[in-house]
Amino acid sequence: MSSSVSTALQDLFGGRAAEAVLLSLFHYGESHGRAIARDFGVSLDGVQRQLDRFEKSGTLVCKQQGRTHVYSWNPKSRLASRLRDLTGVIYDGLSDEAKQAIFPERRQPRAKDKPVIR
């Protein structure tokens, strides 16, 4: 994420790592620390600390896929639901160009006959 693009999430939660975690989880539904750090150009250590904080608060849940910890919103948490809604408001306010700059990589497979739009 370019340094000129920041959101209220950064101000509310005290840093770019928290903003990166919340926006990535809103965009992808689930993610892991290394992917979040790469997308936003922030330190992996900071992202992992933030993921741990959100997990301890009950906002996120973690599952292991091989050696990778994959995080997603906690479906049983009312706080997670509200935080996801707040993140959605911020996410919807981003321009399409900002979203493309933040999330340039497609992580879901494309449907077989779906055309590629360039």
CATH code for the domain in which residue 13 is found: 1.10.10.10
Query: Does residue 3 lie within any of the structural domains?
Result: no
Give the pLDDT of residue 15. Answer: 85
Nearest to 26 by CA among 70, 79, 76, 90: 90
Give residue 108's identity as a one-letter amino acid code: Q
pLDDT band at residue 114 under the 50/70/90 scheme:
low
pTM for the predicted model, two decimal places: 0.80
CA triple 38-97-95, angle to 5 deg: 110
Q: What backbone torsions phi and psi does residue 17 show, to the nearest 5 degrees? A: -65, -45
Give the pLDDT of residue 109. Answer: 55
Q: Model confidence over 54-111: pLDDT tens digits?
A: 999 999 999 999 999 999 999 999 999 999 999 999 999 988 888 888 887 666 555 6
Query: Does residue 115 lie within any of the structural domains?
Result: no
Give the pLDDT of residue 1. Answer: 44
Query: Does residue 63 lie within any of the structural domains?
Result: yes
Query: Does residue 112 lie within any of the structural domains?
Result: no
Query: Does residue 107 lie within any of the structural domains?
Result: no
Residues of the domain holding 16:
9-102
Our count of domains for the chain comes to: 1
Q: Which helix (H) or strand (E) holds 79?
A: helix 78-92
Q: Model confidence over 42-67: pLDDT tens digits?
A: 999 999 999 999 999 999 999 999 99
Higher-scoring residue by pLDDT: 106, 7: 7
Q: What backbone torsions phi and psi does residue 39 show, to the nearest 5 degrees? A: -60, -40
Q: End-to-end CA distance of the chain, in Å?
A: 21
Q: Which residues pair with 61 in a beta bridge?
A: 72
Query: Does residue 55 lie within any of the structural domains?
Result: yes
